[in-house]
Chains A and B, each alone.
Chain A
Amino acid sequence: DAKTTQPPSMDCAEGRAANLPCNHSTISGNEYVYWYRQIHSQGPQYIIHGLKNNETNEMASLIITEDRKSSTLILPHATLRDTAVYYCIVRVAGGNAGNMLTFGGGTRLMVKP
């Protein structure tokens, strides 16, 4: 799987948009960009994933650059409960035996009142 690079930490004011960047310059054509988050002492929670088009769901929006070498996760109105470590992962979709999620360092997002 391609390696990703994320800033180690970010702060965001409550109610404002949180924009979390991720670089994945070696991504392959068949690899998707996945985002998970982990709230303290809990298991990772799936947020969103995409291949090349921008995606939006009830939790967040995912913006992928045209060359697919970077992406941004957007939490439109951050709340205190969004404080967590956010992981950007690239991997091939599907049920192949070796296709597991590999976690990097992630970005620790602190939402402040």
Chain B
Amino acid sequence: GAVVSQHPSWVICKSGTSVKIECRSLDFQATTMFWYRQFPKQSLMLMATSNEGSKATYEQGVEKDKFLINHASLTLSTLTVTSAHPEDSSFYICSARDIRGEQFFGPGTRLTVL
């Protein structure tokens, strides 16, 4: 089956630093990838939609200059949380969509900002 990986699985950083999270589709090409954020005891909230070779589309309320998304290839998208602060601590989950339109999710990355 389709597999999506994320790296790292968890990260702890100091306030003010930037953190990059990678999302890879391991056995299929994904023209579209999605980034979600999930706070404790809440559902997944879509942050942005990333299309290969073009700029990401951000959901309302998500700062594009703070959450930089790059989708340079059909198998890799990255999310960079710039100048992270404690309120950015969350579980970040990526999803990749295959040619049939089905979405497959990564295992998530837990970010803790001290």
Contact = CB atoms under 8 A, between A and B. Distances in A.
Main secondary structure of the interface of B (DSSP, over half): strand
> What bracket does the count of chain B residues touching chain A fall in?
20 to 34
Contacts of A87: 43
Contacts of B79: none
A97 B32 contact: yes
A112 B32 CA distance: 39
Interface stretch (B12-20, B68-76, B82-90, B106-114): B106-114
A96 B46 CA distance: 16
Nearest to B9: A41
15 contacts: A36-B105, A38-B44, A41-B91, A41-B110, A42-B108, A43-B6, A44-B95, A44-B105, A94-B101, A95-B97, A97-B51, A98-B49, A102-B46, A103-B44, A103-B45
Interface of A: 36, 38, 41-46, 85, 87, 93-106
